Each structure stands twice: as structure tokens, then as C-alpha cells.
Amino acid sequence: MSTAHDTTTAGAAAEPTTRVGKAADYLDQRTSIGVAVKEFARKVFPDHWSFMLGEIALFSFVALLISGVFLTMFFEPSMALTEYHGEHPASAHGQTMSVAYASTLEMSFEVRGGLLMRQIHHWSALIFMAAIVVHMMRVFFTGAFRKPRELNWLVGFTLLILGMAAGFSGYSLPDDVLSGNGLRITDGVVKSIPVIGSYMSYMIFGGEFPGEHIIPRLFTVHILIVPALIVALIALHLFLMVLHKHTQFPGGGRTDKNVVGYPALPVYVAKMTGNFFIVFGVLALMGATMAINNVWNYGPYDPSPVSAGAQPDWYMLFLEGSLRLMPGQGTEWEIFGYTLSWNILVPAVIVPGILFTFLIVYPFVEARVTGDKREHHVLDRPRNVPVRTALGVAFLADFILLAAAGSNDLIATHFGMSINQITWVFRILFFVLPVVAFVVTKRICLGLQRKDRELVLHGNESGRVVRYANGEYVEVHTPLDDQERWLRVNYDSPAPLEVEPKMDARGVKRKGYGADKRWQRLSRFFYEDRVEPVTPAEFAAAHAHGDHEAIEAGGRQAMPAAVGTGRTDGTDSQEH
């Protein structure tokens, strides 16, 4: 690529001399690819390790595709019954099982490299989902979903859901007891949907559970529909990323109108290639050394047995936990001969519904309550948007709590606790923990913002104590350098929305006043408590000896006294 780039830019007059150069010239004369190479090679990307989290997801998806193609060569998606006669494992000799399960065993024990590929595929799936979640957290907490990227956030959200769908459909294919248990729960969840539930269940399974159709159907979903959609949406996701240009972290010289970083070629091409091989290496290492989903442990599917420790893969664990926490008594109602199963509907439909709705609407709600229609290309530091950060942490806390609840039996055995008590503690924490997480996070953010103000106004404590001629002792403060100061003063701290009065000039009630009022209330929730960045006037005042206290008293009523007064002694004698 490098040579191609060089030769095309060298001009038409100079004939390429090297072999690569000639090949590149041949290609360029027929496709004009040099234009694209030039454009992309010079495209500037900002530098930060957290921008590589999405790459990890992308590269594990590539690993999924490659290993998945291999597995497709040997897997037979059939629920027909067969008797197993492979040599390994001994616990399957002569057992009756579905062809799908038998082909999974043969793939693992007879096909060279088959087990390795299966394990790489499964580990890649877990890492794919984990990387998506971590990437999403980065985007959320830094506000990278703001205009113009709201739609790309939705594309990313859809990829998360598709990743879950891919994981779930793949998990069910081997037709072992564990995956069958998962399908049975799905069947129950579908049946809990009022009125249409039982019809939908019959439609999905082609009759009463488990039927004879579900494995072939899931196979089509798993190897055709979902991957095709994921590939298409990844393409769209990346296209939009290039179109919008990548966001950058705040810092000196970085604005919403520029991108500070390095050109794609050679810097990011090298970094991405390196990351690609590292991802593949780690996945191969995991597949080679750590057993995952040993389906022969669980045995061929039979609807009667359920083993202890039956759980879904981690990204579905929050649903399992939500089901485990829901009390059963009194939550199943019978109305006119129809059963309404709140015990399934609430944990398996409503709880994930709340989480997913939050993820979908959040960018739009935040833009609305901020009254913000500008484009943003510089990321927020999480502390500078305390309520967003706190909401994210609250939802994350409950997500993790539910995953822990889904593992309550393992927590009980491994920490010697009573499963009943764990369940009750989790039931209470489900409501209490998000509130506590919200309040604590918001306080920490506001505290960090105040600390930033403090640093900008007064600098760092140097530890050097000076005694003046008049006997006064003071500690010398070192002022921040320009880069550090830029980082701490260049952020927005929007005030809650202002609403036009209820009556217009003629005393007529204004239409839409009620809605405006509600938005204002939500806006107050977001921005009532805030810490304004230091203004140039405040900064100048703080650095002009002696008279800055007047400014602090007059200009910063919103600030708690602790920020200004506690350090007054030190700043008075700050050296510049």
C-alpha cells in the first residue's frame, strides 16, 4: 500500500521501477484506487487506547466468522435421532441423541482441530460481547453519542442486540441439556406474553416444545440472518464513523472543528494490524488452553433433567438473574380463563425493556433537556456531566447485580452462604443499589469538578512552606501549565432549560406549556447541581494578589464555600 501510494503521488511522468510499483500502477490505471488510498492514508485519527475497544469487538467478529465457517463444514442441524458410536467421549457410547448433538461431538473429537475451533468460536463470542459492552460504556460516559452521532449510537445498540441474538442462537445449536434448558426458558418467556404467547411458541417451535424444527431454524438464524445483518450494520457503523470523523478527548488545541492526531498510514494501520494479531493471539490462546462449553458434560438434550449450575452465557446472565429474583407467589393471575404470568413478564420482558429503552432514548433525551443542537466532536470528561455519568453507573450497577443474581447458586457454594439470604439481599439491592450508585457517582463527579476549579485557580500544592518577614507562613502553590488548564476549563456546564411563561402577552394560555414544564423538570434533574468552569475573569482575579476574594464572594454563589475559603491562605501568596 505504501508503495502504491508513493508511486501514484510521484506523478504520471515517472514510470514505476519496482515490481510492486508496477503492479500498483497497473491497478491504479484501471481503478483509480490511488485516490481512495490517498484519501484514507492521510485521514487523521485521534490517539487514545480506549478508541481500540471497538476494534477488539470488530476483530473478534472476524475470528467468529472464520472459525464459524469451519464449524459449518461439520455441523449438521438436524433433530433426527441417532445412536452415537464415536470413540470419545466414553460417556456418550451408544447413547441416543440428536444428529446435531452427535455432529458436535464428532466435530470435537474426530475432526482435526475441531475442538480448538469450537473453543475459539465460543471464546470469541464472549469477548465480542464483552468488547461491545466496554466500547459502549466508553461511548456513553464520554458523550460520544451526541450530535451528529445519535444514529450511529442506535446502529451500535442494534449491533449489541444482534450480538445477543447471535450468541443465543449459537448457544442453542449443539442440542445438549444445558442449551435445551435455555430454550425451555425462552419458550416460557414467549408463552408469558399475553394473548399471543402460546401461539407464538407454537410458531417458533413448530408445535409443542421442543418439537423437531427449532435447531434447523436457529441454524438459519445463526449462520445466515444474524451474521448478514451484523456485517451490514458494522459496515454502516464504520462508514458513519469515517463520515463523522472520530471524536477526540479534550486537550490543548482540540476543538469541534478539527481532529488532532496522526495519519492512518502508517501510524494507525500499524497499530490496528498489531491489535488485530493480538486479538487473534489471545483468542487462540484461550481456545487452546481453556475448556469452554464441554457439551458432552451436559449430555444429549432431554426435556426432563436440569443440572445444578445451569446458566446462560454472561451476556444473558442478567435475564437469568432477573428471573431468579422475581418472587413467584401471587404473581400469576388468572383472568377469564387466561393466565397472566407477571412472574415471567416482569423479569424477562419488562426489566430488559427498561434497560434497552434507556439505551435507545438517552441521546435524544439528553439533547432535549440540554437544549443542545450543536455538533460535538470533543468528548466530555465523565465528571463534567455528573448526571449522565451517574445514570450510566446506576444502570451498570443493576446490570452487574442481576448477573450476580443469575449466579446466586455459585455465590452460595463458593462463599459458604445461604442462597435464600443472597436472593433476598439482591431483591432489596435491585431497588436500592442504583439509587446509591447514582448519588455517590454524582457526588464524586461534582467533587472532582470542584477539585479541577481549585487546581485551575490556585495550582498544585508544592509542599514548600515559606515564612514571610511579618511572620506569616504560607505554602507555595505551583500553577498548572497551559495544557492542564485547558483541559479543566473548556467544558460546557449547561443550566436547566428556561420555559416561556404560561400566558402570552394577551393573557392567553400558551399551547405546549405543560410539556415544556415537564421537560424543564427533567432538565433541572440533570443540571440543577452543577459546577461552572473557571471564567477568565475569575482566573485573572485569583491570580491578582489580594483582591480575588471579592470575586469569589460575588461571582460564585453557586459554589460551596469550601472550595474558595479553605485555600485562601495559600493562594494569597501564590508565586507566578
Binders of another protein among 302-361, rule CB under 8 A?
302, 304-314, 317
Among 100, 126, 226, 541, which residue sits at the site for another protein (rule: CB under 8 A)? Answer: 126
Q: Which residue has the cell 440428536?
A: 98
Among 12, 19, 30, 90, which residue sits at the site for another protein (rule: CB under 8 A)? Answer: 90
Tell which residue, 545, 546, 564, 543, has the closest CA to residue 555: 564
Three-state secondary structure readout of 81-143: EEECCCCCCHHHCCCEEEHHHHHHHHHHHCCCCHHHHHHHHHHHHHHHHHHHHHHHHHHHHCC
Among 408, 441, 523, 574, which residue sits at the site for another protein (rule: CB under 8 A)? Answer: 408
| Residue 288 sits in the site that holds another protein (CB under 8 A) | yes
Question: In this structure, how many other beta carbons lie within 10 angstroms of the beta carbon of residue 329?
Answer: 6
Residue (9 or 421) nearer to another protein, CB: 421
Instruction: Spell out the residues 6+ positions from residue 173 whose beta carbon is closer than 8 angstroms to its own.
Output: 75, 77, 100, 104, 179, 215, 218, 219, 222
| Residue 41 sits in the site that holds another protein (CB under 8 A) | no
Residue (117 or 563) nearer to another protein, CB: 117
Q: Applying CB under 8 A, which part among 45-53, 198-206, 363-371, 566-574 lies near another protein?
A: 45-53
Among 4, 37, 41, 53, which residue sits at the site for another protein (rule: CB under 8 A)? Answer: 53
Shortest CB 124 distance to another protein, Å: 9
| Residue 483 sits in the site that holds another protein (CB under 8 A) | no
| Residue 85 sits in the site that holds another protein (CB under 8 A) | no
| Residue 297 sits in the site that holds another protein (CB under 8 A) | yes
| Residue 271 sits in the site that holds another protein (CB under 8 A) | yes
Q: Applying CB under 8 A, which part among 74-82, 211-219, 240-248, 280-288 lies near another protein?
A: 280-288
Contact flags string 133-162 toward another protein, x per CB under 8 A: -x----------------------------
Phi-psi group of 24: left, alpha or beta (phi > 0 → left; psi -120 to 50 → alpha; rest → beta): alpha
| Residue 12 sits in the site that holds another protein (CB under 8 A) | no
Classified as helix, coil or strand, 14 is coil
Tell which residue, 343, 333, 314, has the closest CA to residue 189: 343
Residue (57 or 541) nearer to another protein, CB: 57
The strand pair at 473-478 and 460-467 is best described as: antiparallel
Among 47, 110, 212, 475, which residue sits at the site for another protein (rule: CB under 8 A)? Answer: 47
Residue (407 or 449) nearer to another protein, CB: 407
Residue (13 or 90) nearer to another protein, CB: 90
Residue (291 or 540) nearer to another protein, CB: 291
| Whole-Å CA distances, 242 to 45, 149, 162, 259, 381 | 10, 11, 22, 12, 23
Angle at 206 between CA 202 and CA 211, to 5 degrees: 105
Shortest CB 298 distance to another protein, Å: 5
Shortest CB 367 distance to another protein, Å: 30
How many of the chain's residues bind another protein (CB under 8 A)?
76
The torsion angles phi and psi of 406, rounded to 5 degrees, stand at -70, -15
Task: Report yes or no: 40 and 2 within 8 Å, Cβ to Cβ.
Answer: no
Residue (44 or 66) nearer to another protein, CB: 44
DSSP secondary structure code for residue 211 in this structure: T
Shortest CB 42 distance to another protein, Å: 15
Shortest CB 308 distance to another protein, Å: 3
Q: Applying CB under 8 A, which part among 51-59, 239-247, 428-436, 504-512 lies near another protein?
A: 51-59
| Residue 457 sits in the site that holds another protein (CB under 8 A) | no
Tell which residue, 234, 247, 252, 281, has the closest CA to residue 61: 234
Run of H or E including 341: strand 338-341
| Residue 418 sits in the site that holds another protein (CB under 8 A) | yes
Question: In this structure, how many other beta carbons lie within 10 angstroms of the beta carbon of residue 163?
Answer: 22
Q: Which residue has the cell 469550601?
A: 562
Shortest CB 43 distance to another protein, Å: 14
